[in-house]
Amino acid sequence: MKNIKFKSVAVTGQDAIRTKYSAVQLGYYNDPFVQFFVQNPRKSQPIMNRGYFARVYSIEKLILQFLNVSKKIKEKNKEEKKDENFQNVVPQIVSLGSGLDTTFWRISQDEKFSSFQFRYFEVDLDQVNAKKIDVILKHKELSSIIGCEEKNNQKKEEQIEEILHGSKSGFFLDRKNAEIISSKYSLISGDLCALDSIIERMKIHKINFEAPTIFFSECSLVYLDPKYSDAIIGWIAKDFHVVFFANYEHINPNDPFGKRMLLNFEKRNAPLLGIHQYPSLSSQIQRLKDAGFVFAGADDMLSIYNRFSTSDEVDRLVIQKIQKLEFFDELEEWNLIMRHYMISWGVKIESEFIDLVSEFFHL
């Protein structure tokens, strides 16, 4: 990214993977794939383990809800015999600033997701993707889920066409651009500050602008100057026919804790460039509405986590389980930290399907 040093981004990314690995090792959630990406693993503090559980669980929940809504839209479309072509489109999941994240592998092997077809895209800097490719190729547990690497003398474009149309089940490895293309998974290299380039790369990977799509970002867009992140969000809302968006990032920079939080990131040479323009839940919601999303919401992570403990039985049982994993006496600090992170979500969809969104897409 133009205004961030790659090394600083890499350090924060490795910190995230290290904490996720710690949480997995202690049983907060299941992820047999994170072990392959972690370097110098160490046990994180209970407050960090629980916080990362809340982050992972929330994003996964929104992705699952998106797939359910997409399925119901298809069913309604079929009942009303509207658009026969729509029945053949596959929902798409796009991770912006994906780093070494393992969501694709985790949900590909998760029983909750087994009834859904989807294409998964990851977008990050080529330096980050090159490291990810090395790990993927090193471990069959990762590469086998994508398929075998296709190696032949065909032209690149011909190989990609055959892979994406299903006549080949493997993947195409583009070492020069640090990219992977398969029918299930695409790893795309690009600077989020250079939107035109990202769009061109996505077109090469055959993203479908007519298919239901969810974009999500975990602590990525907040590192950008708002003119770049706003351009991305505006493009998503404008160019995709049925699109969902979820963004996990920091808020409340102006209270004492928020100021300390900002200073900590600045010391690591990774300033939160977007936080002052969108410092609150209301500004985050308005941001999505201004971009063109017809439905928008946001909440801080403390409220979201507390709702999990009082909502449906599945969420309650999960929260009860994780709260028994470690001795936890940091409630005051927990409440403070969790009020400084939020998830915002937006949807652009035809008005007749809004009832499905309000019923199935929320935290």
Is there a binding annotation on residue 192? yes
Instruction: Say how many domains are in the chain.
Output: 1
**Residues 53, 253, 17, CA angle at the centre, nearest 5°?**
30
Position 32 in a domain: yes
- pLDDT score recorded for residue 2: 45
Which single residue is written with the structure tokens 């809800």?
Answer: 65
**Residues 140, 142, 143, CA angle at the centre, nearest 5°?**
65
Query: Can you list the residues of the chain whose pLDDT is less than 50?
Result: 1-4
Cβ–Cβ < 8 Å for 347, 301: no
Position 90 in a domain: yes
Cβ–Cβ < 8 Å for 212, 242: yes
Position 17 in a domain: yes
- pLDDT score recorded for residue 162: 76
Position 181 in a domain: yes
Give the strand pairing for 179-182 and 185-189: antiparallel
pTM greater than the 0.85 cutoff: yes
Is there a binding annotation on residue 97? yes
- Ramachandran angles phi, psi of 41, nearest 5°: -65, 145
Calpha distance 3→273 (Å, rounded): 9
Is there a binding annotation on residue 18? no
CATH for 267: 3.40.50.150
In tens, the pLDDT along 150-166 reads 666 567 777 777 777 76
Position 1 in a domain: no
Is there a binding annotation on residue 255? no
**Terminus-to-terminus CA distance in the chain, angstroms?**
31
Is there a binding annotation on residue 350? no
Q: In 3-state terms, what secondary structure has residue 288?
A: helix
Q: From residue 308, how far is each of 41, 57, 144, 264, 334 by CA, in Å?
A: 29, 10, 34, 30, 16
- pLDDT score recorded for residue 3: 41
- Provide the residue range defining the domain that includes 220: 6-360
**To 10 degrees, the CA torsion angle through 84, 87, 90, 92?**
80
